[in-house]
Homo-oligomer: A and B are copies of this chain.
Amino acid sequence: MAARKRKERLAEEKVFKDPVHKYIYVQDHLIWDLINTKEFQRLRRIRQLGTSYLTFHGAEHSRFSHSLGVYEITRKIISQFERGGYTDWPAGEKLIALCAALLHDIGHGPFSHSIEDVFDTNHEEWTCRLLLEETEINAVLKAYDSSYPERIAAVICKTYHEPIVVSLVSSQMDADRMDADRMDYLLRDAYFTGVNYGTFDLERILRVLRPYKGRIVVKESGMHAVEDYLMSRYQMYWQVYFHPVTRSSEIILRQIFRRAKELYASGYTFNWMIGPLEQLLAGRIDIEGYLALDEALVQTVFSMWVNEQDEVLADLSRRFLNRKLYKYVTMDDADDQLWQEIREQFKAIGLHPDYHLEIDFPYDMPYDVYRPDAADAAGKEEKPPILLLGPDEQLSEISERSSIVRSITGIRQGKYHLYYPEEPLRESAAKLPANMRELFAFM
């Protein structure tokens, strides 16, 4: 026991150079050892923003750098809580919180949204498996304290007995808070895409956070800083995360996976296959296979599939690799009848509506702009998301106080986008009826 205690702190603090936080400081042996596991190193081969690099060429940063960033922000918040001596912060939870911050994305696979959609996997489940089953991470955690794997998994699954630790690290699934995860990704994604929005005053926000009755709240005097953070988030969503070109590449990606899954199910023989992907297609992927399934592997698969005899699969793979994405038209509204008519017309000119057509509505995407009522709607949580702490300890929800936040809250500005391959449609444009030619602007 004494031996373990002696090695808890690194003899000398380690630092990582980081463009967003300047430096990331590691002071604990445990954190250092977790970073050096193969499961954590694998995050270097998974991009933070999926296919966004096809729209913003600088966005090639990995989940490895984001995970370090979430860790660093969490570390700074807890340091501030400790310096302030706030009794609402549970003193013994620091290391648990740091581990959870570092590891919260460990289960992400390549291009998660598309793969999860098609194969019904779930990165949170994988995170838990990587914590609890036989992995280097599990071994490192257990060597430190045998209860750590379960406790950290509980934080990430939001069942931990100290809700404030959950609230600090990430609250992705239920509602819309201000946590270390979001603060890092907004700053980091803004930096690597090169856009201006997304640069709020992190230092000021960290200074006004307070632990309060099991939650992280914001000192009232920090309201304007939170407004600024929420406005940054709003701009990032509409200008980066929901960018129609990125959506187009995600659609193609999903269709590649769907097509491959269907072909596999139908007994099609692939010219080229690789173990981890076959496991995925067969629905029996194990930990070793999942860990090997990184973005490098997926891209290699596509570069081989450009020569598959199934022309749909080959075409989609070429489109993704060579960035010949689908074009889109914008529709204010869409009804099922129009939708059906377009499908029929596509078929009539020899296109494949299941693969050559997709209607997309950004609002349905797995991202969140600030919506304090979302939690209630989902029925999971009763308290509203960002709370301001006034001078006499009364709490108020920020949108009650800030009209700018109220205005963002109500916004639903998504339009429908209809995605399709331009060349084949253009070639057959003459055969389309007038309303179709108008819709796709072939006049």
Q: Is the CB of B194 within 8 A of A200?
A: no
Q: Given A44-B53, A300-B274, A408-B407, are A23 and B58 neighbors across the interface (CB < 8 Å)? A: no
Determine, out of A153-161, A232-240, A340-348, the stretch whose residues face the partner at the interface: A232-240
14 extra interface residue pairs, beta carbon distance < 8 Å, beyond A20-B194, A23-B207, A196-B228:
A17-B194, A19-B58, A22-B194, A44-B54, A44-B323, A58-B192, A60-B60, A199-B199, A231-B404, A234-B404, A295-B296, A296-B299, A297-B300, A403-B407
Q: Is the CB of A199 within 8 A of B201?
A: no
Q: Mark A274-286, 1 if CB is under 8 A from B, else 0.
A: 1100000000000
Q: Given A44-B53, A228-B197, are A410 and B404 neighbors across the interface (CB < 8 Å)? A: no
Bound Cα distance from A318 to B294, whole angstroms: 15
Q: Is the CB of B207 within 8 A of A196?
A: no
8 pairs of A and B residues whose beta carbons are closest in the complex = A407-B407, A19-B194, A296-B299, A38-B322, A300-B300, A296-B296, A196-B201, A19-B58
Q: Which residues of B contact A408 (CB under 8 A)?
A: 404, 407
Q: Which residues of B contact A406 (CB under 8 A)?
A: 407
Q: Is the CB of A57 within 8 A of B68?
A: yes
Question: How far is the CB of A366 from the nearest CB of chain B, in Å?
Answer: 22
Bound Cα distance from A64 to B16, whole angstroms: 26
Question: How far is the CB of A18 from the nearest CB of chain B, in Å?
Answer: 6
Question: Taking the complex as formed, is A61 at the interface, i.e. its CB lies under 8 A from any CB of chain B?
Answer: yes
Q: Is the CB of A323 within 8 A of B22?
A: no
**Neighbour of A57 across the interface among B16, B53, B274, B324, CB < 8 A:** B16
Q: Which residues of B contact A56 (CB under 8 A)?
A: 17
Give 19 pairs: A residue, B residue, CB < 8 Å, sorted on A.
Answer: A15-B207, A17-B195, A19-B191, A19-B194, A36-B324, A38-B321, A41-B321, A44-B54, A45-B299, A57-B62, A60-B61, A228-B235, A234-B404, A292-B303, A292-B304, A404-B407, A404-B408, A404-B411, A406-B407
Most buried by B among A23, A57, A410: A57
Q: Is the CB of B403 within 8 A of A58?
A: no
Q: Which residues of B contact A299 (CB under 8 A)?
A: 45, 294, 296-297
Question: Taking the complex as formed, is A127 at the interface, i.e. its CB lies under 8 A from any CB of chain B?
Answer: no
Q: Which residues of B contact A292 (CB under 8 A)?
A: 303-304
Copies in the complex: 4
**Neighbour of A403 across the interface among B62, B199, B410, CB < 8 A:** B410
Residue of B nearest to A201 (CB): B196
Q: Which residues of B contact A42 (CB under 8 A)?
A: 321
Bound Cα distance from A297 to B298, whole angstroms: 9
Question: How far is the CB of A199 from the nearest CB of chain B, in Å?
Answer: 6
Q: Mark A179-221, 1 if CB is under 8 A from B, else 0.
A: 0000000000001111111011101100100000000000000
Q: Which residues of B contact A234 (CB under 8 A)?
A: 404
Q: Which residues in chain A, 219-260, are within 8 Å of chain B measured between CB atoms?
A: 224, 227-228, 231, 234-235, 238-239
Q: Which residues of B contact A304 (CB under 8 A)?
A: 274-275, 292
Question: Taking the complex as formed, is A170 at the interface, i.e. its CB lies under 8 A from any CB of chain B?
Answer: no
Q: Given A57-B62, A196-B199, A235-B227, are A413 and B407 neighbors across the interface (CB < 8 Å)? A: no
Q: Which residues of B contact A235 (CB under 8 A)?
A: 224, 227-228, 231
Q: Which residues of B contact A203 (CB under 8 A)?
A: 22-23
Bound Cα distance from A294 to B296, whole angstroms: 9
Q: Which residues of B contact A191 (CB under 8 A)?
A: 19
Q: Which residues of B contact A224 (CB under 8 A)?
A: 235, 238-239
Bound Cα distance from A67 to B22, whole angstroms: 25
Question: How far is the CB of A288 from the nearest CB of chain B, in Å?
Answer: 9
Question: Taking the complex as formed, is A65 at the interface, i.e. its CB lies under 8 A from any CB of chain B?
Answer: yes
Residue of B nearest to A36 (CB): B323
Question: How far is the CB of A53 from the nearest CB of chain B, in Å?
Answer: 7
Bound Cα distance from A8 to B201, whole angstroms: 29
